[in-house]
Amino acid sequence: MDRKESNYWTQRYVENRTGWDIGYVSTPLKEYFDQLTDKTIEILIPGAGNAYEAEYLFQQGFENVFVLDIAPEPLNTFAKRVPDFPKSQLLLDDFFALEGSYEIIIEQTFFCSFVPTDKNRSAYVTQMANLLKPKGKLVGLWFDFPLTDDLEKRPFGGDKELYLSYLEKHFNVITFEKCYNSIPPRQGNELFGIFGKK
């Protein structure tokens, strides 16, 4: 595991410097989840943080939701908040070292958490494809605001064209548009995407 990354994110949670954390499942993802009918599908939420998406899915009866984070702090908090959630589905691991096979992977401020080098962004897309089953989908939200030269200020931005330059190497675009149902503070600053593994 990347100790430096683990320590960085642990510190953010300990110090409560989690401005991306809205405290509940975000509306675009909730509305996507609400139209899923198969409660047995395997869903991974990487870089899940406090994982309100996983909590919501679990409450709706989804059995195979896996929560991944590199920092123990949010996983411990989640386990206390949702005590019935299977502990074996809480994964303390480095995303890039993870092995497994999932039908859906949920993206929620995860891509934008990595220092935005070509190497990191390419590795993200490759690993997403590796973790998805054939016909699997990558679904979620990407921040739509300019990428600055500040390599300390997470989350990092980007735009549709930039993201597609990476994603299209391993995925077919099902939809990728300005999000119409963002929460008010993020209105106009999010893209909602569904991508099918090539």
Distance of CA 58 to the CA centre of its chain: 16
Q: pLDDT tens-digit profile of 182-191? A: 766 667 788 9
Q: Averaged over 128-152, what is the pLDDT?
A: 86
Q: What's the confidence (pLDDT) of residue 146?
A: 76
Q: Alpha helix locations (H) across 82-183?
A: 118-131, 160-167
Return the axis-axis angle of helices 160-167 and 118-131, rounded to nearest 10°: 60
**pLDDT tens for residues 2-56?**
666 655 544 544 445 444 455 658 889 999 999 999 999 999 999 877 889 999 9
Contact (Cβ atoms closer than 8 angstroms) between residue 129 and residue 137: no
CA atoms within 13 A on the CB side of 178: 6
pLDDT band (50, 70, 90) for residue 119: very high
Q: Where are the beta strands (DSSP E) in 144-189?
A: 171-178
The CB density around residue 184, as the number of other CB atoms within 10 Å, is 6
Residue 18 has a pLDDT of 41
Per-residue confidence (pLDDT) for residue 41, from 0 to 100: 98
**Which residue shows structure tokens 């939200």?**
141
User: Using one digit for the tens of pLDDT, what is the confidence trace for 62-95?
Assistant: 999 999 998 888 899 999 999 999 999 999 999 9
Q: Do the Cβ atoms of 190 and 143 come closer than 8 Å?
A: yes
Q: What is the pLDDT of residues 141-194, one digit of tens each?
A: 998 887 666 556 667 788 999 999 999 999 999 999 998 877 666 677 889 999
Residues paired with 45 in a beta bridge: 67
**Confidence band, pLDDT 50/70/90 cuts, at residue 114:** confident
